[in-house]
Amino acid sequence: MSKVTVAILASLALLWPALSWAHGIPTVKQWIDLFQEVHQHRLFRDLKVSYARIPAEKAGYSPVGVMPREGLDCVVAISEGDNSKLGRMMALTSSPETARAFLLTIAAHEFGHCYRIRGGNLSLQLWERVLATSPGSTERQAMEKVISIEEAYADAYAFAYIRDAHPHMYTAMFKAMHRLRHEPSFATRFYQVEPLYLQLDRRGLDGSLSLQMQVEAIMRASGFPEIAGPDIPGTVDVQVAGQAKALDQRDRAAVGLLGFEPDLANQESQ
């Protein structure tokens, strides 16, 4: 077999998964491969994570998400089967290359949540407090702002990653994520992240800083307050066991409340 033939076959091997993602939904294994690739990057490689499958009947709105677990920084939960939201999200990309970069950006966003879980900013208790609030109430509005801070942090981590790992794709990913955050069919009150996007558009990330500090710097410049846990203004401590108020499926998925099966083949990465 000639070197030219080998090169062509190698190119096709790389292109085929990208084409399949551009026109369909990644399998659980493909998602794990994407997350593992992002996990090897210097921004995320010290995270201790494992992977779990969300049964198709429980996946609903979110294609992927993260949850806390003792002994880990997070569990990455991946929906199996078709996912209507991800199908519509992939329509925001224009080529196999941008489709793959978009999926890597999503994975980096979830690892950003993992860092916030590690730091105690994002927790099951926080999500339970969201469940215990009534839509439209003062407390719900306060919780929406808190979750929006977490979504902004996760987006900032994703942009720091893509700018460092795939700089030629940064502009395209900024445009795709901006559309995702502002498209009415995707947007919820838990994604009030416009200040971050305004700052990224005006000043961008400071490449002279470490990647972690780039995230913190752009978040400070965006004016998001540093609040968490019991310090959240406009909320009170609540007992939620057995009396949590129902969220619609979109809101429930938006704040990460997803049921999932045990870890996939005990896959753990650190």
Place 18 in a pLDDT band, splitting at 50, 70 and 90. very low
CA angle 258, 261, 266 (to 5 degrees): 125
Is residue 218 predicted with pLDDT exceeding 90?
A: yes
pLDDT digits (tens, 9 = 90+) for 157-168: 999 999 999 999
Is residue 21 predicted with pLDDT exceeding 60?
A: no
Q: Quote the CA–CA distance of 115 and 157 in Å, as a whole number.
A: 9
- Packing angle of the helix pair 96-118, 138-165 (nearest 10 deg): 120
Tokens of 98: 């941008």
pLDDT digits (tens, 9 = 90+) for 87-141: 778 888 888 899 999 999 999 999 999 999 999 998 888 878 888 888 889 988 8
For residues 244 and 91, the model is more confident at 91
Q: Quote the CA–CA distance of 243 and 168 in Å, as a whole number.
A: 49
Mapped to the 3 state alphabet, what secondary structure does the chain carry?
A: CCHHHHHHHHHHHHHHHHHHHHHCCCCHHHHHHHHHHHHCCCCCCCCCEEEEEECHHHHCCCCEEEECCCCCCEEEEEECCCCHHHHHHHCCCCCHHHHHHHHHHHHHHHHHHHHHHHCCCCCHHHHHHHHCCCCCCHHHHHHHHHHHHHHHHHHHHHHHHHHHHCHHHHHHHHHHHHHHHHCCCCCCCCCCCHHHHHHHHHCCCCCCCCHHHHHHHHHHHHCCCCCCHHHCCCCCCCCCCCCCCCCCHHHHHHCCCCCCCCEEEEEEEC
Q: Which residue has the tokens 């078709």?
A: 82
pLDDT on residue 91: 82
pLDDT on residue 260: 38
Residues 6+ apart with CB under 8 A from 164: 41, 42, 43, 211
